[in-house]
Chains A and B, each alone.
Chain A
Amino acid sequence: MIARALLRFLQRTPLSTLMAVLGVALGVTSIVSVHLISATVAERLDELIPRQLAGFTHFLHRADLQADNYFDLRRRWRSGALPDVEGLSPLIDESLLVDTRQVRAIGVDLFSADIGVVEGAGSAAAEEWRWDGVWVDESLVDVVRLPVNGIIAAPPGTLVGDIGVVQDLLGWPSSRISYVGARFVSPWDDLRSLGEALLPGLDAGLPEVTPALSEAGWQIVSLARQHPASQFGKSVLFNISALGALALLVAWFLMYQVAVSWLRRLWPVFERLHVLGVSWRELGGYFAAAMLVLGVVAGGLGLAAGYLLAVQLYGIAIPQAEPEFSLDAWVVLKAAGSSVAVCLLGGAVAFNRARHGIPAERRLHAALILPLAALAGVAFDSSGLIGGFFSIAVLSVLTALAVVPLLNRLRLHSQRLAGPLLVRLSLRELFWYPREFSIALAGLSLAVATAIGVGLMIDSFRADFSRMLDRRLTYDVVVRGGDELAGIASELAATPDVSRLQRYQTVALRIEGAPFELIVTKVDAFEAARYGLSTPLAPDAALLSEQGARTLGRGPGDTLEVDGRELRVAGVFSSFGDLVPRVIVDRGSGLTGRLESLSINADDPARVLGAIRSLSSAAEVELQADLRRIALDTFDQTFAITAVLITIAMVVAGIGVYVAVTTLRLNRRSSTRLLHGLGIVRGESALMDLSLGLGLGAMAVVLALPLGLAFGWILCEVINPRAFGWTVALALSADALATPAFWGLVAAAVAGVLRFGRDEEGTHVART
């Protein structure tokens, strides 16, 4: 009977029910779409790591590694010296040229049963293998001259074979290997993979735990660090997932607000029922059941909307690929779970507060402990991305907790408020009924703060990025790839039109186990200036990209060993967008690589372009102006998803404000009647509503500004370095501060002025 009464209650308040469902559904939409996109992208990112290496958690490197070192290690492992290691295997992982193709050759121990199982399309049964054969990805089928055992799914240019075969291919002695693959086990493994399934990209956000290796002389590099491109992508995913969760958090605030408003009307009924002998527990149970129904409905709606949004967003962010989304059990679980959790938790907190009030001393404890927690997340780099986002979450909670005390304090001074009486009257309501507003206000300020923080980060990033492009894009024409580069270069060198011709040789190598791209070119004063160096680069010096410096922990003045040569780090340059750390050396260093690109300055770039086209049809030619545009377009595409997610959070926050204002109207019925008696006209009551909305918006903005600045700073100085290895200098762009503030005010004003459904809200309150 109580259940039926509750359902009837929901029916009779169709508008707030609708708002609640809509808000929670939007929150679910946000996380579902992010999940679908992330899962698809994560799958592609996984493909960047050849399957034969993906089975290892870490790689062990050592200078001048010999097979004997491996056997020693293996013996020690067998004798129990490395209890956390589940498997060890020698590996070869080198790049070589086959004809003119750059090939990544991976040698694995085909005997080790538990790792390196080669499978994929066309893979033959073991009896039919040829030990001297190889497995290649599709692009190499017609390139290699060795027998092909099968085709594997791997990045283009990947070849896998037995160690011996690959050693022969490289011309290496049988005693030489690249590194050792190891599988470390940790009690957290299951939890981490569960987390990854629930939140694709999560693993990249967790602090990296490097297992201790007691054996001397070995360097240990994690799978992620050895494959920075994949890790880079996953870090992006993690950031987006964190942002996607924002709308859900705001939806929780909304649900709480709705529950408060409902309970305010249901409470007299509940109290009467309690007097009649229904226990509070039972009443709470019925209320929870009503919330559960809402949660299920909202979850279903959010799941469907999330799918549609994912298709749209994917089209914006990655226009060149067709998405394949699967609504698997994880997504359904996530949608239903989060939506039900949001509804139940919001309802439960509201119910308990309605019954017991809010304990005051807890606030004080929180005010002491939370700032310390926020500081810890920022201060310790080892806390990873999670640490950074933890700080953001803690600061948000702190702001939410500050709302009520702040409003109470303002109330003490509200007597001095000036302006028209009706405006004063409405603004003061903010301070008079802080409980009705605090959560909605916190939700709105959180949404605005996030918009400010992300906006600041994007603007700062864009400024740094375009400054880097300004400095770096000093050539008119760039030619890449193709085997004819050498020919083109000598042809162009003889052209009077060409005022400068720069040759870049590239080679992939490992420095202290971490993969690097080495670039060899003539670094005279002109070229050095592109990397922020004022003098030509000495033959024994090197330039490190910011990521490289971070990976190796080196800075200007330190030394570095590259391919057996000792080099001094002359400078560190910014390298936004790089997937792999880079090191640049002068031609005089004696290091060499393959000629991969040419940069040209010419009096008439268009003519040079024509000349190159006539020399070769294969070479990729780009004009500087295009490069800049493409780079910035890509940049903006990357952040399109962000904008959509923030907008969703803002809308949910706006709904929260609307619900809060409606709740207030319930409290104010006697005031409303009184004002009507005094002859208030429609325009005046609209003015009052608008003042209330704007006042609320202004409060939210005031709270959001410091919070947003903190978010921006954390994103630039903490999240970016931890996720991508580069630092962004926080610049206070007026636009990033003003735009979210403006929309926050608009959302609040609209929520204040909206009238529909307001009368519905009061119809069943006992007539006075």
Chain B
Amino acid sequence: MEATLEVRGLCKHYADGDRLVEVLNHVSLDLAGGRSLAVTGPSGSGKSTLLNILAGILAADAGMVVLRTGEATVDLATLNDAERTRLRRRHIGYVYQFFNLVPTLTVWENTVLPARLNKRLDLDARAGELLDQFALSARRDTFPEVLSGGEQQRVAVARALVLQPPLLLADEPTGNLDATNSKHVADLLFSAAREQNVALVIATHSEEIAARADQRLHLNVDTPPLT
């Protein structure tokens, strides 16, 4: 089976003053639908940078990122910013560590936001099911500020799954949660990946979570600064 996500020779550096900081150095990976990949590494090793490139929020300096959606196969490196944005909006779910929800939208509105942005009114029913499944139905009309951290992350996962995306990115999704909630959210992510045939990339500091993933990518900060 062809991989949903295929990354080859990905490089990324930042300019810090007149110093160049090499963050990603020839990263390659393959990930099929229904499988999960844990990205680990010390702080500053480039986990978030990698996820941002996979999401098309950042452009890589070199290498290719091929995403196979149900409709087409695209190399993100060949797209401009506007095209990457459109791709992300339709085919990629993203869960952050915090500030996942728009404070001025209710739980329901936050959840259906991707569907509305894509003019997919037919997905309202699915959004309702997801909220039910994640035990959030009672919170439907409340605003995020009154939700607990665990609830907020569950809403974020539900939102990321509404569009049934081929690729789901999660950047330390449990970093702010206690053990119980952490496990609950991780369960949701991994089972969603398996059951809905989603390729899941999860950046994490937690060994426990990393151990549950099917594959693993470890990043290091050992790359020396170039001038």
- B116 touching A679, Cβ below 8 Å: no
- B99 touching A671, Cβ below 8 Å: yes
Given contacts A421-B109, A421-B112, A674-B96, contact A679 B117 (CB under 8 A): yes
- A679 touching B85, Cβ below 8 Å: yes
A761 to B214, CA, bound (A): 44
Closest to A677 in B: B94
- B55 touching A677, Cβ below 8 Å: yes
- A424 touching B105, Cβ below 8 Å: yes
Report A-chain residues with C-beta under 8 Å of the C-beta of B87: 679
Closest to A414 in B: B104
Total A-B Cβ pairs within 8 A: 65
A420 to B112, CA, bound (A): 12
Say yes or no for B106: interface residue by CB 8 A criterion: yes
Interface of A is mostly: helix
Measured CB to CB, the closest approach of chain A to B131, in angstroms, equals 16
**CB interface residues, B 71-125, toward A, < 8 Å:** 82, 85-90, 94, 96, 99-106, 109, 112-114, 116-117
State which of A95-103, A425-433, A436-444, A495-503 sits at the interface with chain B: A425-433
Return the contact of B102 from the options A415, A420, A671, A681 (Cβ within 8 A): A671
Chain A positions 185 through 218: 1 when the CB is less than 8 Å from some CB of chain B, otherwise 0: 0000000000000000000000000000000000
A11 to B24, CA, bound (A): 36
Closest to B92 in A: A679
- B106 touching A415, Cβ below 8 Å: yes
Report B-chain residues with C-beta under 8 Å of the C-beta of A681: 82, 85-86, 89
Measured CB to CB, the closest approach of chain B to A670, in angstroms, equals 4
- B105 touching A425, Cβ below 8 Å: yes
A670 to B141, CA, bound (A): 22
Given contacts A678-B89, A679-B88, A681-B82, contact A432 B103 (CB under 8 A): yes
Given contacts A674-B99, A677-B96, contact A425 B57 (CB under 8 A): no
Measured CB to CB, the closest approach of chain B to A765, in angstroms, equals 14
Report A-chain residues with C-beta under 8 Å of the C-beta of B82: 681-682
Report B-chain residues with C-beta under 8 Å of the C-beta of A594: none
- A421 touching B104, Cβ below 8 Å: no
- A677 touching B116, Cβ below 8 Å: no
A678 to B104, CA, bound (A): 16
Chain A positions 647 through 685: 1 when the CB is less than 8 Å from some CB of chain B, otherwise 0: 000000000000000000000001101111111111010
Report B-chain residues with C-beta under 8 Å of the C-beta of A675: 102
- B99 touching A677, Cβ below 8 Å: no
Report A-chain residues with C-beta under 8 Å of the C-beta of B96: 674, 677
Report A-chain residues with C-beta under 8 Å of the C-beta of B117: 421, 678-680, 684
Range, interface on chain B: 20 to 34
- B90 touching A421, Cβ below 8 Å: no
Report B-chain residues with C-beta under 8 Å of the C-beta of A684: 117
A428 to B88, CA, bound (A): 26
Measured CB to CB, the closest approach of chain B to A296, in angstroms, equals 36
Report A-chain residues with C-beta under 8 Å of the C-beta of B100: 674
Report A-chain residues with C-beta under 8 Å of the C-beta of B143: 415
Given contacts A421-B113, A677-B55, A679-B88, contact A415 B141 (CB under 8 A): yes
Report A-chain residues with C-beta under 8 Å of the C-beta of B104: 414, 424-426, 428-429, 432
- A421 touching B141, Cβ below 8 Å: no
Measured CB to CB, the closest approach of chain A to B76, in angstroms, equals 13
Interface core residue of B102, B105, B109 (most chain A CB under 10 Å): B102
- A677 touching B102, Cβ below 8 Å: no
A678 to B82, CA, bound (A): 13
A154 to B46, CA, bound (A): 87
A675 to B88, CA, bound (A): 11
- B86 touching A679, Cβ below 8 Å: yes
Report A-chain residues with C-beta under 8 Å of the C-beta of B88: 677-679
Report A-chain residues with C-beta under 8 Å of the C-beta of B102: 425, 671, 674-675
A682 to B81, CA, bound (A): 11
Return the contact of A679 from the options B89, B109, B141 (Cβ within 8 A): B89
Report B-chain residues with C-beta under 8 Å of the C-beta of A682: 82
A49 to B207, CA, bound (A): 95
Closest to A416 in B: B141
Report B-chain residues with C-beta under 8 Å of the C-beta of A678: 88-89, 94, 113-114, 117
Measured CB to CB, the closest approach of chain A to B127, in angstroms, equals 12
A545 to B114, CA, bound (A): 72
Report A-chain residues with C-beta under 8 Å of the C-beta of B85: 676, 679-681
Chain A positions 386 through 417: 1 when the CB is less than 8 Å from some CB of chain B, otherwise 0: 00000000000000000000000000001100
Given contacts A670-B99, A678-B114, A679-B117, contact A421 B86 (CB under 8 A): no
A678 to B163, CA, bound (A): 11
Listed in ascending order, the chain B residues whose CB lies under 8 Å from chain A are 55, 57, 82, 85-90, 94, 96, 99-106, 109, 112-114, 116-117, 141, 143
Given contact pairs A674-B101, A677-B88, a sample of 19 additional A-B residue pairs in the complex whose CB atoms are under 8 Å apart? A414-B104, A420-B116, A421-B116, A424-B109, A425-B104, A428-B104, A671-B99, A674-B96, A674-B102, A676-B57, A677-B57, A677-B94, A679-B85, A679-B89, A679-B117, A680-B89, A680-B117, A681-B82, A681-B85
26 A-B contacts (beta carbon < 8 Å): A414-B104, A415-B143, A424-B109, A425-B105, A425-B109, A426-B104, A428-B104, A428-B105, A429-B104, A432-B104, A671-B99, A671-B102, A671-B103, A674-B96, A674-B99, A674-B100, A674-B102, A676-B85, A677-B94, A678-B89, A678-B114, A678-B117, A679-B87, A679-B89, A679-B90, A681-B86
